[in-house]
Chain A
Amino acid sequence: MSEQVSAIGATGAVRPTGVRWNIFLLMLFLISINYIDRASLSVAMPLISKEFDIDPAMQGLILSSFFWTYAAMQIPGGLLADHYKPRIVIALATIFWGAFQAIAAVATNWWVLLLTRLGLGASEAPIYPAGGKLNAIWMTQNERGRGATLLDGGAPLGAALGSIVIAWLIAAFDSWRTAFVIAGVGTMLCGLWAWYYIRNEPREHPSLNEAEARYLEQAHALEDAATPPSSGGSWMAYFRFRSVWCMCLGWMFFNTTFYGLLTWMPTYLFKVHNFDIKVLGGASFIIFFAGFAANWSAGGSATPGAAAVVRRTWYSAPCSALPPSWRRCRFSWWPMCAIRSRSWCCCPPRCSSCAGAGCTGPFLPRLRAATNRVFLVAA
């Protein structure tokens, strides 16, 4: 990133500031927190299931409940970001989900816990559509791949950090409730920070200099001139193509392992392998950090030739590691690490899903941009 900025700086008399990259690093941070908070229940679940005396089917229901409202709020969240602008939506969403995270600490039975998870899901949903909007406003066409990688990288990074941070907090205070309160209040403070730093338009930002503002305005003007008018075709037409089906199904299968590991792995390691809470955090960290590293390397190189190479490389190694996991050895969590990292290799389509200009609504424009970009990648 710094090379990018300095490369631009070399062409102009005044070195442009890099405010947009600071904003996206802040977004990486916020989305990491987003995943830390959603993963916190999984890490605490071995303790909570004992305290509330809930069976595995009920645990599954509570872990799933987050996604009920999260899925339902995707499109309304995108509409909110369009209507009220990203700054206020990101700040308020962060403050609200922090509040639900903190409230979960005082739950004394399973249904209060489930209600706080519903609230967490609803308030966590707008961050991605709002981030996509920031990507369209603050990044130039060439930079959006990196912008999307910064947004997407928050998921595995947060999942990795979440397990280690929450496990450490639980162990340090000997209480999952204290850990939840600290995580929740910390999240709310980050919401205030987001309000303080993020702006809806480059010109509104106090730290931005004239050179960066000009650079962005010129790039966006060129882009607008080059954009052909929308064909207005029905999005249903996309489902005539095998590639589109495979992309949607692939994303579903990817998330089956990702969310499967995110929600159930701590309990599995705790019950089957008798990991204590601290070791458990470390193991989860390794697994999801592998995903972050893979995401980073693949997203940074989503150029024609490199994408294919990255894809092949990330496939082959982990596939060879899959069979040993069937033997359920003592460290059978280790091959899972490989599954995780390979899973992220499908991220060129994912990264480019945010890359289309004006990608504000969560589902359809993303799909549209993704399909366009995927087939451009190697064209």
Chain B
Amino acid sequence: MADMRVELAGLKLANPVLLASGILDSTPGILARMADSGAGALVTKSISLEPRPGYAGPTVAEVAPGTWLNAMGLPNPGLAEFLDEFDLQGGLVPVIPNLVADTPEDFGKLAAGVAGAGAKLAEINLSCPHPRAGWSGLLTAQDPAAAATATAAAAAHLPVIAKLSPDVADIGAIAVACAEAGAAAVSAINTMPALDIDTELERPVLGNAFGGLSGPALLPIGLRCVLKAVRALRDAGHAMPVIGIGGISSGDDAAKYILCGAQAVQVGTSLGGNPERLGEIAAELGGWMERKGYATLDAFRGNALEWLP
């Protein structure tokens, strides 16, 4: 059997297929189910300092087969209740809290909070695709300096993964800025900012109007972004890992990201209605490795990079 173990920012993971933030991760019960499904690690929903109730519905709509538009509005119970309910240090499968804030100071407070509760690694959401006034997600995602400041504030307390948006001119520059600010990794991509209109109702489909697009349509976009980030980091002399996210619904899709140089991957939308699919995707990746004769992930990681123009 192929050895799928991988190291991510000091964490030793049984496999490189992680649960993405925002999908099937709102309660300890469903996280336990995703762990048993075979996740390499579990990224939680985005946690803010204060509770956020989320947006009015409809919050989700399937805009093409398997491709979804969503604007949940980062619903979460706030840091204190989150720490009260979720165990960040125990368990066989590592739990990586995802943090969202509008200022570097708040990113720092959140990072200190989860580090104090035993988290070994956190992901910071720099790229919410549908922020409202005062929410800085999409702005932070656009600006290497802002991304660096937020990263440094959180990285002062524990290793952090900076989660990046696809909706930027040069994701490589932002990845490099995060690396130089002390990020342990970057993850790419968040959902793609998008909109859908109902022609009968003559209004946006979602309660929040704008949402983030996810599902199979995102795979080629995510692959391009990961490849650009990997190349930019390599060219700048950074060994920092990149986590591939976007449109993964099979082991083959996961292999594509690793061939682009990703250290690990995260899966979200394709688990909708089928939570156990996560473990199946990891098993499919293992099957692909065996068929190709790869004993480890390192044996093929980045093989597609030499074809870069």
Chain B associates with chain A: no
- Which residues of B are interface residues toward A (Cβ below 8 A)? none
Using a CB–CB distance below 8 Å, which chain A residues touch chain B? Answer: none
